[in-house]
């Protein structure tokens, strides 16, 4: 396992953020969350209307890492084998009376995978990502094949009211460490984007800012960040409150709690600390947990993103913050 000093890990993280921000102007908080998700070893779901920079962010992240990258355009006719690959006859083999078979890897076998418009594919195709995202491996014809390190899925999706979209199943949503929108730029930033068009001018020229080994080392360093028992108790109190809230049918799972702890550690590392503070948990709750809880339909009409974010914000106001 490659290693970095805490100082070197922070330096690499800041360098990566700065490189990505060259292509996505005016969205430093979004870029920061994406980098934290990568360092935490999770996967990122970008949900917003078309044209605000979801694909640009994914491309910029991939170009900023000296590692393999594949883009998969999700469509209604996409098959699981189109993602994972399959066994094919080995025409070069001369052994035996019949052809032997070899595994032909699919596009999922890359360090950074862009799952573009993931909610336009059928649930069957979406489910092909479950094992890959949770275990960093895929099983084809009974044989498990490991995925490379790092393995980072950046998925984009349009709002569900858009034509031709399918809602992601709850089990799939739970595999994304963080869900985030991008939003429209501020007027000054949009004027700069209109003038410079960074997606066309800067993105093709981005050079890698960190190596594949750097990312693996930053992920290892993040797992060593201290997570005090008082911080753990604060996190668990928030999780328990989601399970007891009258407006929620399903609260946060243990997987969601682990995801929140891991990205809090990554946030602390990026800020140059080897220990977590309550703000590391507090500031990430909505982005990490809002897509994991389900509003009770008896409490009234629910819009997943807006309603769950409001409920989590209310929970944060009444759960005591450790001193």
- Would you list the domain boundaries of the chain? 1-195+209-218, 225-323
Rounded Cα distance, 52 and 40, in Å = 25
Q: For residue 192, list its beta bridge partners.
A: none
At 44 the pLDDT is 94
The three-class DSSP label of residue 48 is coil
The three-class DSSP label of residue 313 is helix
Are 155 and 201 within 8 A, CB to CB? no
Handedness of CA 278, 227, 21, 55 (dihedral sign): negative
Q: In CATH terms, are 1-195+209-218 and 225-323 the same topology?
A: no
Are 247 and 226 within 8 A, CB to CB? no
Q: What are phi and psi of 105, to 5 degrees?
A: -65, 145
At 163 the pLDDT is 56
Rounded Cα distance, 318 and 164, in Å = 40
Q: What are phi and psi of 180, to 5 degrees?
A: -150, 140
At 95 the pLDDT is 56
CATH of 225-323, one of 3.40.1710.10, 1.10.8.80, 1.10.287.40, 3.90.280.10: 1.10.8.80
Q: Whole-model pTM?
A: 0.89
Residue with tokens 């750097």: 214
The three-class DSSP label of residue 72 is strand
DSSP letter at 186 equals P
Rounded Cα distance, 75 and 150, in Å = 26
Nearest to 70 by CA among 41, 38, 111: 111
Q: What are phi and psi of 28, to 5 degrees?
A: -65, -35
At 189 the pLDDT is 82
At 17 the pLDDT is 93
Check whether domain 1-195+209-218 has CATH 3.40.50.300, yes or no: yes
> What ranges in the chain are assigned the alpha helix state H?
6-21, 28-39, 54-63, 80-84, 123-127, 130-135, 170-173, 187-196, 198-201, 212-223, 229-244, 254-270, 278-282, 285-289, 304-318
Angle in degrees, CA 37, 41, 45, rounded to 5: 45
Nearest to 28 by CA among 16, 12, 42: 16
Are 110 and 150 within 8 A, CB to CB? no
Rounded Cα distance, 247 and 93, in Å = 61
pLDDT, averaged per 10 consecutive residues of the chain (323 residues), comes to: 80 93 89 95 89 85 88 89 85 64 89 88 82 90 90 84 68 91 86 85 89 92 94 97 92 95 96 94 96 80 67 94 87
């Amino acid at each position: 396992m490659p290693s970095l000093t805490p100082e070197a890990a922070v330096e690499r993280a800041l360098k990566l953020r700065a490189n990505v921000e060259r292509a996505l102007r005016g969205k430093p908080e979004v870029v920061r969350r994406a980098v934290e998700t990568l360092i935490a070893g999770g996967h990122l779901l970008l949900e917003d209307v078309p044209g605000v920079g979801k694909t640009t962010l994914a491309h910029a992240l991939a170009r900023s890492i000296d590692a393999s990258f594949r883009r998969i355009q999700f469509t209604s006719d996409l098959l699981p084998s189109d993602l994972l690959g399959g066994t094919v006859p080995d025409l070069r083999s001369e052994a035996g009376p019949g052809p032997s078979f070899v595994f032909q890897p699919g596009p999922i076998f890359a360090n950074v995978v862009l799952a573009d418009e993931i909610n336009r594919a059928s649930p069957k195709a979406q489910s092909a990502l479950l094992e890959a995202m949770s275990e960093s491996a895929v099983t084809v014809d009974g044989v498990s094949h490991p995925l490379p390190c790092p393995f980072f899925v950046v998925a984009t999706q349009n709002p569900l009211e858009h034509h031709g979209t399918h809602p992601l199943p709850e089990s799939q949503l739970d595999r994304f460490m963080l869900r985030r929108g991008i939003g429209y730029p501020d007027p000054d930033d949009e004027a700069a984007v209109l003038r410079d068009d960074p997606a066309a001018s800067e993105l093709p020229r981005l050079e890698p800012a960190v190596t594949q080994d750097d990312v693996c080392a930053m992920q290892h360093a993040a797992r060593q960040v201290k997570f005090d028992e008082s911080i753990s108790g604060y996190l668990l109190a928030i999780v328990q409150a989601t399970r007891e809230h009258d407006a929620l049918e399903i609260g946060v799972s243990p997987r969601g709690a682990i995801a929140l702890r891991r990205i809090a550690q990554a946030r602390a590392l990026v800020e140059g600390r080897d220990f977590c503070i309550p703000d590391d948990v507090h500031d990430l709750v909505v982005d990490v947990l809002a897509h994991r809880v389900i509003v009770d339909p008896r409490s009234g009409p629910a819009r997943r993103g807006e309603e769950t974010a409001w409920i989590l914000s209310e929970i944060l106001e009444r759960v005591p913050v450790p001193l």
